[in-house]
Amino acid sequence: MVKKFTENLNSLCDAFEMFKASGRSLSVAYENDRLTEIRQGESSGMSIRAVKGGKIGFSYSSKPDEVDAVAGAAIRMAPYGKPYNFSFAPRQKSEHTRPYDARCGELSVEKLVGLGLAVKDAIKSIAPEAMAECSFSGGVSQSRIETSAGQDCSEQESSFGYFVAAKITEEGNFLSTYRYRSSNGQVGEDEILEEAREAARDFVVARKHAPVKAGRYRVLFSPGALSDILMPIAVSINGLNIEKKTSRWVNSLGERLFDERVTLLDDPFHEDGPGGGLYDGEGVCTQRRAIIEKGVLKGFCHTLSTAKACGHEPTGNARRAVSSVPQPGLHNLVMAGGSATREQLLAQAEGGLYIDQMLGTFTSNFLAGQVSGNISLGYAVQGGQRIGRVKNCALNVNTFDLLKSHIVAISGEREWVGGQYLPWVLVEDVAISAR
């Protein structure tokens, strides 16, 4: 049936790419100690990029069995679209494998509701005054990409994620300490409950208030906060910003930009990584690639289109939902660990701050390297320990400068933050504004 259709499509347009995806998922959420949502979803969709007269049109539909309508709309849009000055993916087969956990598609309401109750108990056993918040979701999906250039690849993926938090909202003090993880396989209940207890232990420390004055400090960034600090790098290696020359790194491949302890890889095959895949959103085989190696810029993130426009080789970094056109993006960003332990870094942060969560940094001017935002969860460090939460203070750093000349040490331990596997990083001479 599909075969017949693509043959038909070949006769209607000059080139095409068809992306089909379907999946099912189940999620359960608790807020303020209370079960609030059980959501079961089925989704399907297909999109087509069709080339006619040297230009590309795009169309998407979530309605099953609407291939003719989608193809018709894509062809109708093509005369107005972007010039087709690259080629859709040719036939290629990935040599890699990636774990698939079928259990993610077999989760039951009873299991997830019960897990929520256990998380609530775990949090309250350590922080009785906290309210528990948590959510769990799992699912499986299939996708298939076919192109007129001969590619026909399919992939099935599994996903599981959790979020556990201890929170309190009271006069002059809103606090939420949380842990979360996304994975490509089911995460064990023991890990989730331990993370819930960890969030509760953070909560207990953060209940104490520690004063902070504006000034320059040593700062220990948790993996969660480091993720915000790395945003200017992710934006500056994005192929669109290279193509449009809005990245300052257009001509910087091979240049030493950072401290030699900074190494960043994009690893689509990481066994725990939630963001990977054997093929990218255009059917191109993905690669494990260095982005920054020992401080030196090694690679950009490209779609077929941005790679062609820049005269670079494709990198297999097209990221997309079935409803959208591909954009360059990282799969799993993995930062190399250092030689210090977390405890050693905390001891070295004496008199400084431990920053765990930032707020609103996404509004910063990343292309200029700027990362600004409120410190929504930060601690003062004394005697090798976090002694209490600092509030009403903001961070404003330039990542390009911070990771070039301010790094004191990097931890060997790392943690997943969404699709990023990151260490703790201690830096010095960081400006903190405070009231």
Among positions 182-241, residues that touch another protein (CB under 8 A) are: 214, 240
User: Any contact of residue 142 with another protein (CB under 8 A)?
Assistant: no
- Contact with another protein (CB under 8 A): which of 57, 268, 329, 378? 57
- Contact with another protein (CB under 8 A): which of 5, 6, 43, 86? 43
Candidate ranges 196-204, 290-298, 337-345, 427-435; the one touching another protein (CB under 8 A): 427-435
User: Any contact of residue 45 with another protein (CB under 8 A)?
Assistant: yes
Per CB under 8 A, contacts with another protein among 299-328 are 323, 325
Three-state DSSP class for residue 208 = coil
Closest separation in Å from C-beta 327 to another protein: 10
DSSP at 263: -
Three-state DSSP class for residue 106 = coil
* Whole-number Å distance between alpha carbons of 59 and 46: 8
- Contact with another protein (CB under 8 A): which of 2, 10, 37, 125? 37
Burial zone of 309 (CB within 10 Å; 0-12 exposed, 13-18 middle, 19+ buried): middle
Per-residue interface string for the shown chain with another protein, residues 115-134, x marking contact by CB under 8 A: --x-------------x---
Per CB under 8 A, contacts with another protein among 326-365 are 359-365
Candidate ranges 70-78, 93-101, 198-206, 282-290; the one touching another protein (CB under 8 A): 70-78
Spatial neighbors of 49 by CB under 8 A, at least 6 apart, are: 16, 17, 56, 57, 58, 74, 88, 325
Q: Which is nearer to another protein, 96 or 248 (CB)?
A: 248
Per-residue interface string for the shown chain with another protein, residues 362-401, x marking contact by CB under 8 A: xxxx-xx-x-xxx-x--------------xxxxxx-----
- Contact with another protein (CB under 8 A): which of 39, 91, 103, 256? 39
Give the Cβ contact number of residue 177 at 10 Å. Answer: 26
Closest separation in Å from C-beta 351 to another protein: 20
Torsion-angle region of 109 (φ positive above 0: left; ψ -120 to 50: alpha; else: beta): alpha
Closest separation in Å from C-beta 64 to another protein: 5
Closest separation in Å from C-beta 157 to another protein: 18
Closest separation in Å from C-beta 287 to another protein: 25
Distances (CA, A) of 329 to 73, 291, 324: 27, 12, 14
Q: Are 70 and 59 in contact (CB under 8 A)?
A: yes
* Whole-number Å distance between alpha carbons of 29 and 262: 37
Spatial neighbors of 52 by CB under 8 A, at least 6 apart, are: 13, 14, 75, 78, 79
Q: Are 207 and 427 in contact (CB under 8 A)?
A: no
Give the Cβ contact number of residue 96 at 10 Å. Answer: 14
- Contact with another protein (CB under 8 A): which of 3, 4, 11, 171? 171
